[in-house]
Amino acid sequence: MAWPIYVALGDRLGAGPSGRHNDLDWHARLARTLAERTGRPCALTDLSADRATVTEIIDDQFPAVPARRPDLISLTAGMTDILDPEFEESRFSSDLKWLFDGLAAMSATLITCTLPDIAERLHIPSVLVPMVQDRVRLAGEAIRAEAAAHGALCVDAWALPGMADPANYSEDRPHLNSRGHQLLADNFADLMTG
């Protein structure tokens, strides 16, 4: 199996160590690893945007996907949504379902992940940490359910050993650093080619 055309959609989990796209982020690392393991090029188009909500992914990123005719699509969503004071699980789940329905219809390999348990690393009052952890858990349940319903491969970052380790995050806290991006890329590659 090979994935010559790879399109990445998502939120801040996709941003590189600087908070911007670069060749150190997990999307780029995954594309390189897949090319090495399959012996075929894997060209990445990264549409993900820091702080994108699921609604913004639908409105701003999704429309550009069909014309690229991808063989592989990755989706990371929810990190920005769970920090919204007006977060509603039902609305998040409904938007997520719409997005998975649309992406699955493109007949590409679809990969996604749950959110890592990093509530204690966010710049929020400690009294809000339990609420945010609960939202991360609820978002993860919705992501797992949609992945299963649509045949998507899902890395469970919530339960992934080492994913919550502070050593995997940059000084600004919510963004992965190089080590964290490598961990995520390796787990996706192993799931796809293992």
3-state secondary structure of 10: strand
- The pLDDT, as a whole number, for residue 167 is 85
Looking up residue 9, the CATH number of its domain turns out to be: 3.40.50.1110
Average pLDDT over residues 25-38: 95
Strand order in the sheet with 153-155: 43-46, 5-10, 72-76, 109-113, 153-155
Specify the range with the lowest mean pLDDT, choosing from 35-44, 72-81, 88-97, 128-137.
Answer: 128-137
Confidence class for position 24, pLDDT limits 50, 70, 90: confident
Q: Which two tokens stand for residue 140?
A: 């993860």
Confidence class for position 17, pLDDT limits 50, 70, 90: very low
Contact 10, 62 (CB under 8 A): no
The partner residues of 44 in beta bridges, in order of sequence, read 6
Average pLDDT over residues 38-65: 95
Contact 6, 166 (CB under 8 A): no
Q: Above 50 in pLDDT, residue 143?
A: yes
Instruction: Quote the domain boundaries for residue 124.
Output: 5-193
Compute the distance between CA of residue 78 and CA of residue 118 in angstroms, rounded to an integer: 13
Global pTM reads 0.92
pLDDT tens digits, 114-135:
988 877 666 677 887 888 889 9
Contact 39, 67 (CB under 8 A): no
- The pLDDT, as a whole number, for residue 169 is 80
Compute the distance between CA of residue 96 and CA of residue 94 in angstroms, rounded to an integer: 5
In the chain, the number of structural domains is 1
Contact 71, 2 (CB under 8 A): yes
